[in-house]
Amino acid sequence: MVRGVFSFGGLVLAGGVALLIGLQKSGKVDVLGIFHPLPEVDATFQRGFRSDAMSKINRVRVPASVDEVRIDEPIQSFLETFVHSHPDPKEIALDEVFDAIQTEFPGAQYLAANLITSSNRDELLSKLTGWTAVANPDFDCINTTVFRAGTRLGALGVMSRRIPQFSLRAANEGGGRFFNRCPHCDVIHALELNRETRTLILSCPHCDLPFDVLAAGINGEIRRATDFLEGFELQAVGKKASSQSDEDKIVALWGLIADQCDYELDQDRPNDSGKDDDESSSREVWKTSRETWNEAAGDCEDTSILLADILIGAGFDARVAIGWNGNIGQHAWVVVRVGAQQYILESTLQKKIERSDLAAVGEASAFYQPEQLFNRENIYYTTARPDRFRVDYFSSALWKQVPGKGSVDPALSVR
């Protein structure tokens, strides 16, 4: 009888052990934790874990010729608050992590996150450093937050790299990748700026609307399109007889520009940099109105900027148009308004200008398709149908002003 009891007890014990082993493997119960209690996850523990994680990750990166990671302190502070305020950290969704970080830090456009649990600190570190993202050169920071997950330890690891906000100053410091808040839809997006690129028409990838027009000047500095109109005026303007009609005044000023300036492609312009190479000589640049007048030469956008600036200085409502000409291709020209009439002015096609050369917008609309307009102060865009915006360059219903001067902080304007 006693022997039978012992046999039954052995079976129960064996079954209990098997059950506990199964629960341990499943992670539902930490049997070993009964004998090895979890450490207190305080500030000292967090710092030590973070330091060890960074050291182990760098030991993975350095042999692979990847720059070492560091701690992003503002993101670290935010991550700790985010995790510890969550009702159940082990159930945090990674998309929730990304959204929270990018809302607080718009420049954090490179992100990867990993949520792991383990029965002890060493295994937690091992899982984190075995994560494939730790060797990715796109990231330069590692942040971690450890938490208690029932009878286990949990950790949220975030690899990140922040990019700067776009501005003229940042663009001129070397180009690269930036983040920008679209002035139309208010969505933050990343943009890549190559300083060797030609004229830059920046558009939002979410709403597809343009928010800035930039170009490199003759000194290589990137400027906003409006900044190339410097307020240049000709002394001769004030000497014109007041009895002249507006059209005659426009023709006279137009003729002065045509007579002063020869057509010159950018690659034919003398190279100010002193470099004798194909890249610097073929790069497209824009000139200010004063530079074009002083050099007495320029291509279509240079002489259009000069002509529009002088017309504005003489009291006319004029804009530079950039877009397409059916016979030329990509092109720039000037449009000026006199009362209800609008005229297209070509600044590069002829030297002698007469009153009969004034072409009404409607008459020339088949050959000209503007995409953006600008004057001294504003840039304009349109979403209307071509058959409408080609015949009216000044309608506020057809041509919308880019709000808030687009992506450029007014304090950084180079004017």
Asked if pLDDT for residue 234 goes beyond 60, the answer is yes
We report the CATH number of the domain holding residue 312 as: 3.10.620
For residue 46, what are its two tokens?
């967090």
How many CB atoms lie under 10 A from the CB of residue 408? 24
Question: Are residues 369 and 237 located together in one domain of the fold?
Answer: yes
Asked if pLDDT for residue 412 goes beyond 70, the answer is no
d(CA 57, CA 112): 14
Question: Are residues 254 and 399 located together in one domain of the fold?
Answer: yes
In a domain, 36, yes or no: no
Residue-level pLDDT at 11: 54
Q: Which residue has the higher pLDDT, 398 or 7?
A: 398
Q: Beta-strand (E) ranges in 198-340?
A: 200-203, 210-216, 222-224, 262-263, 297-298, 317-325, 329-338
Instruction: Give the CB-side neighbour count of residue 194, counting CA atoms within 13 A.
Output: 5
**Which of 100, 86, 134 has the alpha carbon at shortest distance from 114?**
134
Question: Are residues 147 and 254 located together in one domain of the fold?
Answer: no
Asked if pLDDT for residue 306 goes beyond 80, the answer is yes
Residue-level pLDDT at 377: 96
In a domain, 33, yes or no: no
Residue-level pLDDT at 348: 87
Question: Are residues 261 and 139 located together in one domain of the fold?
Answer: no
In a domain, 168, yes or no: no
For residue 122, what are its two tokens?
């060493």
Segment 256-263 mean pLDDT: 93
Distances (CA, A) of 100 to 81, 93, 106, 369: 11, 11, 10, 43
We report the CATH number of the domain holding residue 82 as: 3.40.33.10
Question: Are residues 277 and 356 located together in one domain of the fold?
Answer: yes
3-class secondary structure, 291: helix
Question: Are residues 135 and 262 located together in one domain of the fold?
Answer: no
Q: What is the tens place of the pLDDT at every residue in 383-407?
A: 998 888 999 999 999 999 998 754 4
DSSP label at 377? S
d(CA 285, CA 266): 7
Domain of residue 279: give its range. 216-412
Asked if pLDDT for residue 275 goes beyond 80, the answer is no
Residue-level pLDDT at 409: 42
Q: Which residue has the higher pLDDT, 18 or 63?
A: 63
In a domain, 379, yes or no: yes
Whether 72 contacts 162, CB under 8 Å: yes
Question: Are residues 303 and 226 located together in one domain of the fold?
Answer: yes
Percent over 90 (pLDDT), the chain:
67
In a domain, 400, yes or no: yes
Asked if pLDDT for residue 23 goes beyond 80, the answer is no
Asked if pLDDT for residue 408 goes beyond 80, the answer is no
Please give the model's pTM, rounded to 2 decimal places: 0.77
Question: Are residues 129 and 224 located together in one domain of the fold?
Answer: no
Residue-level pLDDT at 154: 96
- pLDDT band per the 50, 70, 90 thresholds, residue 6: very low
Q: What is the tens place of the pLDDT at every residue in 71-92?
A: 999 999 999 999 999 999 999 9
Residue-level pLDDT at 25: 56
Question: Are residues 130 and 226 located together in one domain of the fold?
Answer: no
Residue-level pLDDT at 9: 54
In a domain, 188, yes or no: no
d(CA 202, CA 212): 5
Segment 304-313 mean pLDDT: 97
Q: From 161, 191, 207, give the residue that closes a domain.
A: 161
Residue-level pLDDT at 2: 45
In a domain, 237, yes or no: yes
Q: From 161, 183, 202, give the residue that closes a domain.
A: 161
Tokens 């006199």 label which residue?
A: 338
Q: What is the tens place of the pLDDT at every residue in 107-139?
A: 999 999 999 999 999 999 999 999 999 999 999
Tokens 């899982």 label which residue?
A: 127
Number of structural domains in the chain = 2
Residue-level pLDDT at 5: 46
In a domain, 174, yes or no: no
For residue 203, what are its two tokens?
């558009």
Residue-level pLDDT at 271: 65
d(CA 43, CA 49): 10
Question: Are residues 142 and 281 located together in one domain of the fold?
Answer: no
Asked if pLDDT for residue 213 goes beyond 90, the answer is yes
Q: From 161, 186, 208, give the residue that closes a domain.
A: 161
Question: Are residues 222 and 154 located together in one domain of the fold?
Answer: no
Residue-level pLDDT at 235: 67
Question: Are residues 151 and 227 located together in one domain of the fold?
Answer: no
Residue-level pLDDT at 334: 97
Q: What is the tens place of the pLDDT at every residue in 188-207?
A: 999 988 766 667 899 999 99
